[in-house]
Structure 1
Amino acid sequence: MTATLGCSSAAEKYSSNGRLTATGACAGFVQRSGLVVAEAGVFWLQSDPETGANRVWHLSGDGTAMPLRTRFLNIRSRVNGYGGGALAAAVGGVYVVSDDQRIHFIPQSGGQSRPLTADTAAYGGLVADPLRQRVLAVRETGQGVAEGCQQLVAVAHNGKMVVLHQGEDFYGAPAVSADGRYLAWISWQLPDMPWLQTRLWVARVADDGTLEHPRVYPSPRPASVQQPVFAGQNLWVLSDHAGWWQPWQLSPQSPSGAWVKPTVPEWDHANAPWQLGEVHHCPLPDGGWARAPYHQGCGELWLSGCGQAESVRVAATFSDFRNLCTYGGHLYAIARSPDRLDAVLRIDPQNAHVEVVAGGEPALPGQALSYPLAFQVTPLADENIAPQGFLYLPSPPGDKLPPVILVAHGGPTSAAYPVFNPLVQFWCQRGFAVAEVNYRGSSGFGRAFRLALAQKWGEIEVQDMARAADFLAASGLVDGCNTFIQGRSSGGYTALMALSQGQRYRAGASQFGVTDPRQLRRMTHRFESGYLDWLLGHPDSHPQRWQDRTPRLRAAAMAAPVIFFQGGQDKVVVPEQTRMMFAAMKQAGHESELHWFEDEGHGFMKTVNQVAMLEALHSFYRRHIRNVNECN
């Protein structure tokens, strides 16, 4: 339910008058992710603009960013459906997970990659164990809820595999101490998701590489614990048992010992771990720390220690940071910003000097960009934190208040970040404002805010989208008579539920959106097999709630025209869901359009189809803009 449109960095193609075309909004993007370091150097994954495949890049001896020369491999993990952790650096090269889910070793000098696994399992969450010349990984077999299984394994250079731990439903985030004596990892059990409740494990590593006496290190209260990392003899994690994902120091020698928190703000220092391999905190060589918390929806990078009396914020022009790691006395990170392509940053912790060593090019050179304006809706009486978001106004501005498109992010346990999105710029260059809303249930605003969505999906986030629409209209920034709403996947579900509850919106769009949660519950993969019950309650216990919050059954109540986009190969939102809802709206006499793409799945990947969707959506919204004389 978090599948994306497939284009999320910057455009290469523009029309002759300099405006971003539909083709330019969906083609030629470079995404950088999976930054890792080892004695062999600094490596990251970079998408190929022509094929969309992920390849390994590295910093050469003179500091130049170069692709690692090897037989072509498309690098992507599919563990849990969303992957992550498909790259790990080691002595002499890197481990990767190829698109066929085998682990390969690629020498630093390039050349022939060597497969280390040959079974049909999927692998992800790779972490090198350099002292034993092996790689740790999450191994996943089986696709269904009943037959699916995960293990924490180690794979040696000769392909020999050792199962380190099994018996838990899901595994992630293995971390090895510098002396190789301890291993920590995370697990969780169905029906939980990893941002609801996880368990931290610690074990000694025997001389033969197996684990001795693995034990759970219990958190003081039920919590989502993530991203364990060793710093000297201490183990650090990010845990939300005190209300926010914050750093905590533990002693691996004493699993029942105290949890100690440094002085840090009450901010989330991580996001919802949909993917394996997330890294938002990192020990620095001199004993300090680098941390990447989220403050009011925006990512920040802070350094503590480093000879400074107080923590120092660095790289303030960037607004999201991932994959923090150190090499040669420097901190490295993947960073995003509102006006640049994804960048690899190198930061000197001693003087906070920031250098872009790869990427970071201007997103739309020579063109006016629309920058995000943070907003927060008026809090309710019992709210500690009100929903917020980011508004993008037309560029260049017009002489009238612009129509506004409200975007409900997917997940729904995810978030909208103030980073460059060419699809947003596409609308802003055509006279529309765009508002990306972080409704209750979004991550980055504390545990209580994130878990407020429990059993209230289709209710409170719909309310928050309406509150955002009313707030922006009352602010005098947008034309409240011309408000549109759209979303992909679970965001499409939110848009459809909103359109069935009043006259606020002129029209809306469901991009492969959920229309039948009960059918999705029957068809979804193992990772999310308990998620729907958390979002809506068990259907046997709450049958009326499931009926009331099924958009397909509310087709007659739709108060505005709807345009649907659906892939014929979608395995998440079964295509028949969308077809049946479209037919129900037609039968009820409501205006709707269905655009069918037989060759697409859950998230459109082909440029030609992405272009067709944008052009159809633009035409649809234009037809339903109401002039000022009709707005009463």
Structure 2
Amino acid sequence: MTAPHVAPYGTWKSPIDSNAIVTDAIRLSAIALDGNDIYWLEGRPTERGRSVLVRRTPDGETSDVTPPPFNVRTRVHEYGGGAFLVADGTIYFANFDDQRLYRHAPGTEPQALVPEHACRFAELVLDRTRDRLICVCEDHNPSNTEPINSLVAIDLATGAIAPLATGCDFYASPCLSPDGTRLAWIEWNHPAMPWDATRLQVAKIEDNGSLGPATCVAGSDERAAVCHPKWSPDGSLFFVSDRSNWWNLYRYTDGRTELLYELDAEFAYPHWVFGLSLYDFISAEQLLCTYTQNGKWHLARLNLLTRHLLRVDLPYTDLGSLHVANDRAVFIAGAPDMPTAAVLLNLGTGERSTLKQATSLVIDPGYLSVPEAIAFPTTDGETAHAWYYPPSNRDFTAPAGERPPLLVNSHGGPTAATAPTFSLKLQYWTSRGFAVLDVNYRGSTGYGRAYRERLQGRWGIVDLDDCAAGADSLVERGLADPNRLAIAGGSAGGYTTLAVLTFRDTFKAGCSRYGVSDLAILATETHKFESRYLDGLVGRYPEDKDIYTARSPLFHADRLSCPVIFFQGLEDKVVPPNQAELMVAALRDRGIPVAYIAFAGEQHGFRRAETIKRAIDGEFYFYSRIFGFEPADEIEPVEILNLG
């Protein structure tokens, strides 16, 4: 093996280019079992982001189930999830373009199940006894002050929609008891988010199909986020609650609630999307569950008789969409050196097989950066968390004494988290000579409710402090060049990016992807699900208008003096384009180097191959011009205003 070439950071030639990221990559978002068949959902950038349901039969053959132009994706809460159900070979799914529900029986074309209307649907449950679907409904009739959410039943013979549970602002996770006589669900009201305070309700299903009086099982007299209800085979109701600070598993039987296993770990994560499944039953005496501890996800068996938790030895650090049937488990999993994959695990033999990987691209480990979990001191005498990825490319080394440029990633949400899983987008940077710091600032999930709540009332303060402190800690360790510190983020991470560039002096450049610049616009123009989110994170609007103004980068653009590049989808309903455009205009008028690239047809989060490619290459090109290095690849230039 030849000695590595000596070349400045940022100029290294990498096999991980933007074509590799989009040409041979899909997004695996859900998996399900139906008899001996396995189904999963693939988001395909090369098909303009279309989500396709794929089936794998017992002989190992895979095939697309939903034909073009159908796009299996719901817009309930705008973030979607829970867009399909498979039962006895028949698929029920929400189609993105018209948001109607369709039924797709084997050997037929998909048929619309409901008439055209303003409703959206998610989390479909088959009520076999009554030949109907039960699901979440979000009614966007223009006459409504805001969309109306409810639980409804849809007659499979007529398509008629009947209300089941109404009156709350939000509903989620409907689930039928094994005998079909009871329905459980989660509900909550403004201004709470589902990770703040929810209620778990149970009601008997009457002879006419309606619901009897509901009983609140958990969440009524305590500030707790209750989530992920499931019925066990013996008719007990299981759920997850953070009443003890950590999202742990509970069981409700005959009017009594009990904690199943106490652990300083999270057996759930925030309800951003529908259709989450993080545990399932092997039998009435044993369940299979996932949990995260110190930033890594694990799989374990929980014996419900002995209360013994046994971790399953697997190479993954990120797990989700777990389902169990007939001694088989399927889930979506990934690790820093393993692409996200749909996985089948035989619970009897322990045999594991990969059904589908998000990419078939094989990368030599010499080009992959292995993350290190770091904790670092931040403001208020507290500690924040992050994953540090050093530059890594077997073919290159930097000149003696040179420190690498650092890209700090600020995740979205902000009530979300970043996990150490395989990402070609991240390795794109490290294999070219950038260090990357993926920050789980205070407010992130995975470290207990108390850590999550440290962002309450302080969004735009502690997240900024933690991103800056993380960068400073790497500079102090000699792992980053203090003159080449960049920060990037999307959505809420875009806000943190713009805010830290405005109100702190740590970073020298930044990238905002569909980020927020005016908090008041976000509070008044965003969709229903997040319309009161800022009540907790910032304050009530307009009562606390002064706080909104004080923390909005747009009103303090005179304090932002470093270059910024913006990427924005023009059909984004979560963070409208004016959030980026107003900030771009302010920086342009002040003579600050700024670039703006807008994408027609894109919503909140980029799904199309050409968009993803342009965004990552454009960001790298931008930094090359700002930090003064020459990329190894030819990249389509980006127009940078005010760049001398």
CA contact (8 A) 1:68 1:110 kept: no
CA contact (8 A) 1:45 1:57 kept: yes
Instruction: Tell me the equivalent position of 2:636.
Output: none
CA contact (8 A) 2:194 2:271 kept: yes
Q: Does 1:116 align with 2:116?
A: no
Instruction: Tell me the equivalent position of 1:494.
Output: 496
Amino acid at match of 1:48: R
Aligned positions of 1:353-368 closer than 5 A? 353-359=351-357, 363-366=361-364, 368=367
Aligned positions of 1:600-615 closer than 5 A? 600-615=602-617
TM-score (norm 2): 0.88
Instruction: Tell me the equivalent position of 1:93.
Output: 90
- The structure 2 residue matched to 1:68, chosen from 51, 65, 69, is 65
SS in structure 1 opposite 2:283? Answer: coil
Q: What is the Cα deviation at residue 59 of structure 1?
A: 2.5
Q: What is the Cα deviation at residue 381 of structure 1?
A: 6.7
Instruction: Tell me the equivalent position of 1:291.
Output: 289
Q: What are the superposed Cα offsets for residues 383-407 of structure 1, whole Å, 9 maximum, x if unpaired?
A: 4x63333434333362343111001
Distance 1:354 1:132 in 2: 38
Distance 2:111 2:35 in 1: 20
Instruction: Tell me the equivalent position of 1:223.
Output: 224
| 1:621–1:353 Cα change, 3 Å | same
CA contact (8 A) 1:83 1:276 kept: yes
Q: What is the Cα deviation at residue 623 of structure 1?
A: 2.6
Q: Which moved more, 1:575-584 or 1:400-409?
A: 575-584
Instruction: Tell me the equivalent position of 1:517.
Output: 519
Instruction: Tell me the equivalent position of 2:264.
Output: 266
Q: What is the Cα deviation at residue 550 of structure 1?
A: 0.8
Q: What is the Cα deviation at residue 194 of structure 1?
A: 0.8
CA contact (8 A) 2:264 2:293 kept: no
Q: What is the Cα deviation at residue 274 of structure 1?
A: 0.6
Instruction: Tell me the equivalent position of 1:425.
Output: 427
Structure 2 gaps, min length 5: 1-12, 630-644
Instruction: Tell me the equivalent position of 1:630.
Output: none
SS in structure 2 opposite 1:341? Answer: strand
Q: What is the Cα deviation at residue 348 of structure 1?
A: 2.8
Distance 1:36 1:150 in 2: 26
Distance 2:68 2:131 in 1: 23
Identity among equivalent pairs (%): 30
Output the aligned Cα RMSD.
2.5
Distance 2:426 2:337 in 1: 12
Instruction: Tell me the equivalent position of 1:57.
Output: 54
Query: How many corresponding residue pairs?
Result: 605
CA contact (8 A) 1:390 1:418 kept: no
Instruction: Tell me the equivalent position of 1:171.
Output: 171
CA contact (8 A) 2:240 2:248 kept: yes
Instruction: Tell me the equivalent position of 1:5.
Output: none
| 1:579–1:95 Cα change, 3 Å | closer
Structure 1 gaps, min length 5: 1-16, 628-632
CA contact (8 A) 1:271 1:444 kept: yes
Aligned positions of 1:192-591 closer than 5 A? 192-219=192-219, 221-231=222-232, 232-251=234-253, 253-254=254-255, 257=256, 259-285=257-283, 287-305=285-303, 310-314=308-312, 316-359=314-357, 363-366=361-364, 368-378=367-377, 383=382, 386-396=384-394, 398-399=397-398, 400-591=402-593
Instruction: Tell me the equivalent position of 2:9.
Output: none
Q: What is the Cα deviation at residue 543 of structure 1?
A: 2.9
Instruction: Tell me the equivalent position of 1:13.
Output: none
Distance 1:22 1:163 in 2: 47
Q: What are the superposed Cα offsets for residues 295-338 of structure 1, whole Å, 9 maximum, x if unpaired?
A: 11121111123999943323521122222111222122122222
CA contact (8 A) 2:45 2:609 kept: no
Q: What is the Cα deviation at residue 471 of structure 1?
A: 1.4
SS in structure 2 opposite 1:423? Answer: helix
Distance 2:38 2:21 in 1: 30
SS in structure 1 opposite 2:77? Answer: helix
Instruction: Tell me the equivalent position of 2:640.
Output: none
Distance 1:308 1:46 in 2: 39
Amino acid at match of 1:500: T
| 1:309–1:228 Cα change, 3 Å | closer
CA contact (8 A) 1:440 1:464 kept: yes
Q: What is the Cα deviation at residue 170 of structure 1?
A: 0.8
| 1:140–1:133 Cα change, 3 Å | same
| 1:561–1:443 Cα change, 3 Å | same
Aligned positions of 1:30-49 closer than 5 A? 30-39=26-35, 41-49=37-45
Amino acid at match of 2:572: D
Q: What is the Cα deviation at residue 204 of structure 1?
A: 1.3
Instruction: Tell me the equivalent position of 1:150.
Output: 149
TM-score (norm 1): 0.90
Q: Does 1:161 align with 2:157?
A: no
Distance 1:103 1:377 in 2: 48
| 1:359–1:215 Cα change, 3 Å | same
- The structure 2 residue matched to 1:129, chosen from 114, 127, 130, is 127
CA contact (8 A) 1:443 1:450 kept: yes
Distance 1:314 1:612 in 2: 40
| 1:366–1:491 Cα change, 3 Å | same
Amino acid at match of 1:35: I
CA contact (8 A) 1:403 1:433 kept: yes
| 1:69–1:185 Cα change, 3 Å | closer
Amino acid at match of 1:546: Y
